[in-house]
Structure 1
């Protein structure tokens, strides 16, 4: 992802610095089912609810697609990311990469929400996501990546030998997408969804904050 506004990013990181670092899913709690994740996050179909609870629109203002990441276009898209700075635990801006120390893994309260821009300017919730930085995760005593429903999270790190940025300007991290709000032929844990499009993405100024109808 490319930086769209240094001023917006500065405000985002300031908010993160003021927030408490989140912890992982409380010990002893049973891992939620996909249906429980869907029900727990259904209120975020109204993006205004997400904004009111502290989620911030991606300051890079990107709508991510597979071909942007050097992958086949037919894999589809992710969409626009909204994130909670406190749950991600952001500690540093792109210098050269975003860094953090959050350990949050509970998908009933995801650190990231993903929306598809609509033709009328609204945003439709399509997936939820959690992200932890590898350095912080392993420093907390974990030998391997987090898992959800028995599936390891994706390991993301930039390959300096390629022209694209596989880690989206982030330090090496683990993340997991969960497509509980839009059916995904690629699988519920896939990175991209062919049923999602970025064709209506107009940037932050071109989208309203009312829920998709």
Structure 2
């Protein structure tokens, strides 16, 4: 995902740091929900974000489509195709706390509230429409540690995925971002889990490149 320099100047300082609703135990929880508990948690998040099934609502609330135009797939990232895809990302630069786009996208973001996510995930359909299939949050490692955190964020007992680019590979493992942690939550049942980065039941097949 890539943002633009014009966003940095206007949105720096607009970071909204969110805490998760404690009753849902969305992050930093000592409990590890399993099975039906995770499904119920995901359903609560889906309902909270149901209005974004209409992408025009997302646009009206400040989300923007990934300026790179990319629909992220495991295969194009050099990973096994059977992992599936992520879809098209719609991002809230203010919730990500974007402060720079060069040499890599960086920011002050430590936002972890999945009821008010920083990123929406859409699957493109053959008719050109978009279907909301999940949400995501991303926190920048430097900002996260500067906030006093000594461990990565967790969700439902799962440590968020760590992303940092390896300059010795052709693939940009961090998608243009500075080192960060991110966590996906899938509304469409994932054959593996609701919480993995890619979903085998999500497809970029109809993405207009």
TM-score (norm 1): 0.86
Which 4+ stretches in 1 moved above 4 angstroms? 26-30
Gapped regions of structure 1 (runs ≥ 5): 204-213
The answer to whether 1:195 aligns with 2:192 is no
The answer to whether 1:183 aligns with 2:177 is no
Any idea what the Cα deviations from partners look like across 1:10-31, whole Å, max 9, x if unmatched? 34334423x6111131686642
**Does the aligned pair in 2 maintain the 1:116–1:124 contact within 8 Å?**
yes
**Does the aligned pair in 2 maintain the 1:77–1:198 contact within 8 Å?**
yes
Residues 28, 193 of structure 1: CA spacing in aligned structure 2 closer, same or farther, 3 A cutoff? closer
**Does the aligned pair in 2 maintain the 1:55–1:83 contact within 8 Å?**
yes
Aligned length: 195
Q: Which of the residues 96, 102, 115 maps onto 1:108?
A: 115
Coordinate RMSD, CA, aligned: 1.7
Residues 65, 26 of structure 1: CA spacing in aligned structure 2 closer, same or farther, 3 A cutoff? closer
The answer to whether 1:169 aligns with 2:176 is yes
Any idea what the Cα deviations from partners look like across 1:173-201, whole Å, max 9, x if unmatched? 00000002x11112111111111111111
Q: Which of the residues 64, 74, 82 maps onto 2:82?
A: 74
Q: Distance in 1 between matches of 2:7 and 2:23?
A: 31
Any idea what the Cα deviations from partners look like across 1:108-148, whole Å, max 9, x if unmatched? 00000000111111111011000000000000000011111
**Does the aligned pair in 2 maintain the 1:15–1:85 contact within 8 Å?**
no
**Does the aligned pair in 2 maintain the 1:118–1:201 contact within 8 Å?**
yes
TM-score (norm 2): 0.87
1:83 counterpart residue number: 91
Q: Distance in 1 between matches of 2:183 and 2:20?
A: 18
1:22 counterpart residue number: 16
Q: Which of the residues 3, 6, 13 maps onto 2:8?
A: 13
**Does the aligned pair in 2 maintain the 1:12–1:59 contact within 8 Å?**
no
1:142 counterpart residue number: 149
Q: CA offset at residue 67 of structure 1?
A: 1.2
The answer to whether 1:45 aligns with 2:40 is no
Q: Distance in 1 between matches of 2:170 and 2:161?
A: 20
Q: CA offset at residue 202 of structure 1?
A: 1.0
The answer to whether 1:65 aligns with 2:73 is yes
Gapped regions of structure 2 (runs ≥ 5): 27-40
